[in-house]
Amino acid sequence: MPVHYPFSAVLGCQADSATGLDDMGLALVLTTISPEIGGVLVRGEKGTAKSTAVRGLAAVLPSISVYAGDRFSIDPADPSAESPDGPFGSSAAVESRPVRLVELPVGATEDRVVGSLHLESALSRGAVEFEPGLLARAHRGLLYVDEVNLLHDHLVDLLLDAAAMGRVSIERDGVSVSHAARFVLIGTMNPEEGELRPQLLDRFGLTVEVAAPRDPSLRAEVVRRRMAFDLDADAFVERFGADDRALTARIAAARELVGKVRLTEPGLLKIAEVCAAFEVDGLRADIVTARTAVAHAAWAGRSEVTRADIRRAALLALPHRRRRNPFDAPGIDEDLLDRILGDEELPPEPPEGGPDGRPEDGSDPAPPNEDGSTDAEPPSVDPGERQRDGGEPEAADAVDDQPQAPPTPSAPAGESVTAAAPAYRPRLLTVTGLGTGRTGGRSKAIGSTGRRIGARESGRGSLHLVETLKAAAGKQGARGRTSGRVELRAEDLRTAVREGREANLVLFCVDASGSMAARKRMAQVKAAVLSLLLDAYRRRDKVGMITFRGEGAELVLPPTGSVDLAAARLDEVPAGGRTPLAEGLLEAARVLQRERLRDPDLRPLLVVVTDGRANAKKDGKDAVRRSQQAAAYVAGLGVTTVVIDSESGPMRLGLARQLAAHLGAEHVPVAEVSAEALTSAVQGYTHSGKGAA
């Protein structure tokens, strides 16, 4: 067995003295104490020990008892538990084993996750048997997904549904099986590689942000420990063995206590007030915060939830639920949280009162405070105090009925920075042909999901039963079979070929010259690009951005999975100067050629946003001629290209349309990037009779 880095060694460098763990360690421990919390999502930059901590966690969890030979790991102490491998009698052998850490690869198929027909048994013995998937193996353990943001949405949704229901039902390939699947779901991700969808983000119980320490002494200690582990792993594990064993004992004690912890009515009302004040959607946040507060109290050895438990739970359960838009950064205003919770401890459970609200002993209720409130009432929060996205609260006197304009970044002299107009739903831009890239939502591709269009002899995927039988039927004579059951062999297997959708590289090449600043044109252009970025976010694309102005072009954002970064860079793009169109196109060609070498399956879509004017000479050469030559060069790369024409006004030169012709590209006026505008244009064309067949 591989030797994993000790859990206590990962978390000891930045531990909180009150809990003995940092935020990541605490979130992981709490969700193992109370799996009903719903798992943990760990977000952080690369190299912050996310995966190392998760792998070390399994080693400090108490062992579990299982029936010998039971592939579904049901609890022998639970009389209601049933296993498809059962039933197990009272004399069945019971064994103790460590908790499993099951890692789910990003490229896993749905059959691998939930299970499927056991092909070997079906082919050799004609028996229909179920082969358990990763969810069955993870029952009563940990299911870990590294780079969960790169996992396809339908698999993430499947995992979260199983985690919430605690059960998986399979009805496929002649198999009907239902089994328990209660596990702790842990996902790690680097936000720079792309965000998780908000609707999926909400399904994780807790989320923590991790970053490398900035204190040089802490950084040195991390390096010192890692080098000691690499030098002698066994000795290093033994060095932290006592700390890990103490964590194991404390987790076991907290699990025993968690069912006895009391969440009083004032505590529950305080949780509801916190969730309402931060305007989270739905009631999942309230439930998760309550469960986390109870688990935190059990971890601290308390039998009743306190203000400190609620505060800690809110900091773990609420930040990621405040995102309203895909580009919103998760966060929570701790000052506002403290004002809601107040400085005093939670009041005791109120006594049962009579119909008039008086205590049953007939005494008068507690007198009100000077502000008219009572100790049992939660402190009021000024409705004018609202938290900005990831920032400080706004004072009530600063809030009015007028929308606040976003701050405008500064720009060099002769240039201006224009904020984008509101985004909208854009038309779908796709790459021509049929690709084989990773699953997404943009262009047609052959993949593991989608409609079945054929079969092939080899390759991973679901079994195509009809084609398998047809392949075997033609070989029965050669195998000496003239009657009876069809003899199947491995060479007869056929897997389904499916047509679905793939993600693409969407490379924006944006004209930021002085002509774009005229007539507020840049605001409209930025709105179009922002809308396409939102679309790329939903379709799981990689994005990159080039801008050209003045004397050259600049790759302001290398291709990345984080469209958040692209949106931020878009806000900062100034406009001014001449139009070096040729430099912009040639820089796009260089980026596309480089990315093709890195990932040949990731097909690109080049989006050129310009009015088509070229007026920046270089080496005395004509700017228009150079731009035409650059366009011909890009066209020779065979890349699907779209030219978004930013020209507006009654007098138009049509230069962007000419550029599209040189590129072999689709020409789209900026006003028709909107899906609604395209629909209206098509309907008007049809109603006028011009589109009638």
β-bridge partners, 499: 446, 451
Q: How far is CA 220 from CA 198, 228, 345, 393, 626, in A?
A: 37, 12, 40, 37, 54
8 A C-beta contact, residue 606 and residue 640: yes
Strands (E), 322-461: 386-387, 393-394, 416-417, 439-447, 451-456
Q: Smallest Cα–Cα separation from 680: which of 664, 667, 666, 669?
A: 669
Joined together, the tokens standing for residue 360 give 């049953």
State the SS3 of 36-97. HHCCEEEEECCCCCHHHHHHHHHHHCCCEEEECCCCCCCCCCCCCCCCCCCCCCCCCCEEEE
Q: Smallest Cα–Cα separation from 677: which of 531, 576, 572, 480?
A: 531
8 A C-beta contact, residue 676 and residue 429: no
Rg of the Cα trace of the chain? Answer: 30
Q: Is the dihedral of CA 454, 456, 462, 465 positive or negative?
A: positive
Q: Smallest Cα–Cα separation from 83: which of 142, 132, 32, 34?
A: 132
Q: Which amino acid is at 174?
A: G
Beta-carbon neighbour count of residue 170 at 10 Å? 21
8 A C-beta contact, residue 385 and residue 393: yes
CA distance 89 to 86: 9
Backbone angles phi, psi at 317, to 5 degrees: -100, -20
Residues annotated catalytic, as ranges? 284
Prior bond of 87 cis (ω within 30°): yes
CA distance 78 to 74: 8
8 A C-beta contact, residue 589 and residue 633: yes
CA dihedral 438, 442, 446, 452 (to 10 degrees): 120
Measure the N-to-C terminal CA separation of the chain; round to a whole number of Å.
Answer: 70
Q: Exposed (0-12), middle (13-18) or buried (19+): which is 587, by Cβ within 10 Å?
A: buried
Q: Which amino acid is at 361?
A: D
